[in-house]
Structure 1
Amino acid sequence: MRATGSAAGQAAAPPAGLRERKKRRTRDTLARSALELFDRQGYEGTTIDEIAALADVSQRTFFRYFASKEEAALSVQSMAESHFLAAVRARPAAESPLTALRAAVLASWDTIEEAIQSVVPLELHIRTYRMIEANPQLLAEHLRRQVQLEEELTREIARREGLDATDPRPRILVSAFGGVMRVTGRLLSGTTKGDVNELKRTIAEYLDQIGPALAENWRT
């Protein structure tokens, strides 16, 4: 018996896992192409058509994965933030909030570095930080996303501790933690090679100073 057109089409369709891998490869290729062009000729000097051409896809395909050039520029940062948020949610419930945040950011760096380098070289990722800081539009969006991440972290800490959303302590803690991450992020953008082990040591050292920095008397 001859298969119907619908059945034949279903039989020819690739497995869902294969489709997802192809989509991920296309998205990664577009992100890498965008960051390479931004690095080479500047963010403002790069068009979406040029990104699509370098990735060997159509402009229409670009817009299937990214709503804008800005979103493509920040895509690797967004991926790293998602890895970190997942790591926080996976921390043992018995850990104190600051311990959970500290452990998550240090432990997740291994998977974050691997995820980043599956898309772009780490050196290019670091140069992207400098590009973001130099571009007011990108910097504003980057800071907006950081605020959004801090809101999600605040809700997660409150949930872990069984606190009401109006309790100020999770927000204060996350704000202090976020300040450390912004400082170390600027340190990262000022490096040339991006020594991840050195960055982890710096993050740990800075986070360990949150308690002493909040103490009333710094001279004892």
Structure 2
Amino acid sequence: METLRERKKQRTRDALLRAAVELFTTRGYERTTVDEIADAVDVSQRTFFRYFAGKEEAALALQELAAARFVEAVRERPAAEAPMEALRQAVLEGWDTLGEVIEAVVPVELYLRMYRVIESTPVLLAAHLRRNEEIEDTLARVLADREGVDVDADPRPRLAVAVFGGVMRVTERRWGTDGDLSLDAMRGLTIAYLEQVGPALTQNWRSS
């Protein structure tokens, strides 16, 4: 059972994260300082560093939360599902519950706006892509465990995750440049692009 001290620490972390995201999305990542984030919550800079290694970690914290939820969702998929279907269903059903997970910390609108900040800030985008590689490695191992294969000897788990990850990156980029910044829009694009994977890989693209 969570103690009062643990709940207080979680509230402080959530407050710092909300303040950071609000400042990053209104002032910009580069123009926001750790002192300003701490001041917004009326705590010291030292307190900020108890919860986050720096601005970069705070800026990516919501994406980390979403990624962790997705990995768990893949683990929980029925064992009978094929690997690509497990990934597909995990992400599609994840959009239905992500709002609740994010809303526990910040309004979903802020989470979605933070995507654009990451995409438009080179240092954050580089860190986001590096983290995606780590998540893909974790997902490949989850799939390998599900299917009873050796992830280091059988290339299929990594290939499946690489294809899936590429689709999600294309989806994120398209969504980030469209005008509709909503979970529904992101979910719709995800469905549309995942449905194109088979045809894109196996069919002739030239019109007859």
TM-score by length of 2: 0.91
Q: Does the CA contact (< 8 Å) of 1:38 and 1:46 recur in 2?
A: yes
Match status 1:215 vs 2:202: yes
Aligned to 1:58: 44
Amino acid at match of 2:117: M
| Larger mean Cα displacement after TM superposition, 131-140 or 93-102 | 131-140
Structure with the greater relative contact order (CA < 8 A, sep ≥ 6): 1 or 2?
2
Aligned to 2:159: 172
Distance, in Å, in 2 between the alignment partners of 1:80 and 1:160 is 21
| Larger mean Cα displacement after TM superposition, 145-154 or 121-130 | 121-130
Distance, in Å, in 1 between the alignment partners of 2:11 and 2:3 is 12
Change in Cα spacing, 1:191 to 1:46, as seen in structure 2 (3 Å) is same
RMSD value, Cα = 1.8
Partner deviation per Cα, 1:124-175 (whole Å, 9 max, x = no partner): 2222112112211111100000111111111111111111122111111111
Aligned to 2:72: 86
Deviation at 1:102, TM superposition (A): 0.6
| Larger mean Cα displacement after TM superposition, 68-77 or 106-115 | 106-115
Match status 1:152 vs 2:138: yes
Aligned to 1:6: none
Match status 1:110 vs 2:96: yes
Change in Cα spacing, 1:28 to 1:68, as seen in structure 2 (3 Å) is same
Q: 1:200 aligns with which of 184, 187, 200?
A: 187
Aligned to 1:31: 17
| Larger mean Cα displacement after TM superposition, 121-130 or 158-167 | 121-130
Unaligned runs of 5+ in 2: none
| Larger mean Cα displacement after TM superposition, 41-50 or 182-191 | 182-191
Match status 1:17 vs 2:3: yes
Q: Does the CA contact (< 8 Å) of 2:67 and 2:135 recur in 1?
A: yes
SS at match of 1:74: helix
Partner deviation per Cα, 1:12-65 (whole Å, 9 max, x = no partner): xxx743333222211111111011111222211111111011012111111111
TM-score by length of 1: 0.87
Q: Does the CA contact (< 8 Å) of 1:126 and 1:189 recur in 2?
A: no
SS at match of 2:97: helix
Distance, in Å, in 1 between the alignment partners of 2:87 and 2:190 is 11
Deviation at 1:181, TM superposition (A): 0.8
SS at match of 1:104: helix
Give me the identity figure in percent.
57
Compare CA radii of gyration and give the structure with the larger one. Answer: 1
Change in Cα spacing, 1:100 to 1:66, as seen in structure 2 (3 Å) is same
Match status 1:189 vs 2:193: no
